[in-house]
Amino acid sequence: MDTSKKSELLLRLKSIAGHIKGVEKMVADDAYCIDIISQVQAIQAALNKVNLQILDDHLHSCVITAIRGDEAYERERLLG
C-alpha cells in the first residue's frame, strides 16, 4: 500500500474510532435508541469503505503480483 493510501486509511480509522467514542458517550448518557442505531449504522458504513479500500489495494497489488509471479505458494495463498 502506498504512503498516501495508507495515510488516508489511517485518518479514516482514527475518525471511526472517534465516532465510536461518541456512541459510547451516547449510550452512557442514555441517548434515544434510534439515534444510537443511526450512529452505529454510520460507523458500519465507514468500516465498509475501509474494507473496500483495502480490498481494492489488495486486488491491484498483491493479487496481480501473485498471478504474474513465479511462486506457486503466493497464488495458493490467494485461494485461502
CATH of residue 36 = 1.20.58.1000
- CA 76 to CA 21: how far, in whole Å? 40
pLDDT-based confidence at 68, cuts 50/70/90? confident
pTM: 0.79
Give the model confidence (pLDDT) of 20-60 as tens digits. Answer: 999 999 999 999 999 999 999 999 999 999 999 999 998 88
Residue 63 sits in which domain range?
A: 3-78
The x, y and z cell numbers of residue 61, run together, are 497489488
Cα 59 to Cα 20: distance, rounded to the nearest angstrom: 29
